[in-house]
Amino acid sequence: MIVSGLSGSGKSVALKTFEDLDYYCSDNLPVELLPDFVRSRLRGNPLGDQRLAVGIDVRSRSDLTQLAQWRQSAQEYGIEARLLFFEASDEALIKRYADTRRRHPLSHLGLALPEAITRERQLTEPLRDQADAIIDTSALNVHQLRRRVVTEFALGSHDRLSLLFESFAYKRGVPAEADFVFDARVLPNPHWDPELRPLTGRDAGVREYLDNEADVQRYSAQIVDLLDTWLPRLRNDTRSYVTIAFGCTGGKHRSVYMAERLAQHARTQGWPEVATFHREQD
């Protein structure tokens, strides 16, 4: 997976999302080093099933037009190299730079921010023209962008059905994309333990607390039985992924714990693509 686009458009968020899904990632890689990078990774993985995500943009100051030739060569060797191009409106990019107070990568040319953005659009046009997907992030927040990367590209790029286990807070609404929704508010709440309150469902203390509750074990067992029975029936469906969502009051303890627990169970059952997304945490 090649991640490119405009500075401030969300490329770093996308790469971090791929990394969280066990892609081997490298950012700011010069185009001329891409062949050697891929060869070195495949040499250490002769089965060729390692997933890579590489960030390429104007920071490397390399000839971006070389990428098309490399992708053609890679395809001849059976390597699928998809190019995702992230962009946003000038107004959105200027606001993001104002909020973060970071310098634009082309500021060394003595350009004001609007001119630097315009120049970057010109320099990255060869990449945009050959992109497999163009993602406009102008109206997306970080959580929405992460979810889109997970569902449309990280999981949606496979022919086999993939599973996404999501946690959320009911006070912010149920995810519209969820196929299964389970209410974890019926479980004991670690929030009322002062030592566990600042933690999340991914932390050992919260996991141990909930693991030792009989109601949690029964709740989990019943959901496992339901999903193990019916999820396999969806393998012949046309969708590329199924979302199983768990909600609690704040989206911090119980829902996160359940999403992680059921995702781990799905992996042990042999599902090839399993991911988690914690809406209030990621």
With 80 as the cut, is the pLDDT of residue 262 above it? yes
Annotation-wise, does 52 bind a ligand? no
123 and 228 assigned to the same domain: no
Residue 12 marked ligand-binding: yes
Last residue of a domain, one of 125, 154, 183: 154
Report pLDDT for 217.
Answer: 98
Q: What is the pLDDT of residue 152?
A: 82
Q: Rounded to whole angstroms, how far apart are CA atoms 252 and 239?
A: 29
- Residues 184 and 146 grouped into a single domain: no
Q: Is the CB of residue 185 less than 8 Å from the CB of residue 248? A: yes
Residue 3 known to bind ligand: no
Whether residues 66 and 167 share a domain: the answer is: no
Percentage with pLDDT > 90 across the chain = 63
237 annotated binding-site participant: no
Was 8 annotated as part of a binding site? Answer: yes
**58 annotated ligand binder:** yes
Q: Residue 246 and residue 167: Cα distance in Å, rounded?
A: 5
CA–CA distance, 97 with 108 (Å, rounded to integer): 16
Q: Is 113 annotated as a binding residue?
A: no
pLDDT at 157: 52
**What does 71-110 look like in DSSP terms, one character per residue?**
HHHHHHTT----EEEEE--HHHHHHHHHHHTPPPTTGGGT
Question: Is 16 assigned to a binding site?
Answer: no
Average pLDDT taken over every residue of the chain: 90
Q: Are both 17 and 68 inside the same structural domain? A: yes
| 10 in a labelled binding site | yes
Instruction: Using pLDDT thresholds of 50, 70 and 90, give the confidence band for residue 239.
Output: confident
Q: What is the CATH number of the domain that holds 51?
A: 3.40.50.300
**Residue 98's domain spans which residues?**
2-154
Residue 33 has pLDDT above 90, yes or no: no
Task: For CA atoms 141, 15, 70, 5, give the dihedral sign.
Answer: positive
| 251 is an annotated ligand-binding site residue | no
Cα distance between residue 278 and residue 282, in whole Å:
5
Higher pLDDT, 75 or 6: 6
The reported pLDDT for the residue numbered 46 is 53
73 and 170 together in one domain: no
Nearest to 265 by CA among 256, 254, 274: 274
Q: Average pLDDT for residues 38-65, to the nearest whole number?
A: 75
Q: Are residues 171 and 149 in the same domain?
A: no
pLDDT at 221 over 90: yes
Chain segment 107-143, per-residue pLDDT in tens: 989 999 999 999 999 999 989 999 999 999 999 999 8
Helix/strand/coil for 203: coil
The pLDDT, as a whole number, for residue 158 is: 54
The number of domains in the chain is: 2
Tell me whether residue 7 is annotated as binding.
Answer: yes
Tell me, yes or no, whether 68 and 201 share the same domain.
no
What H or E segment, with its residue span, contains residue 220?
Answer: helix 214-230
Gap between the Cα atoms of 42 and 52, Å rounded: 10
pTM here is: 0.72
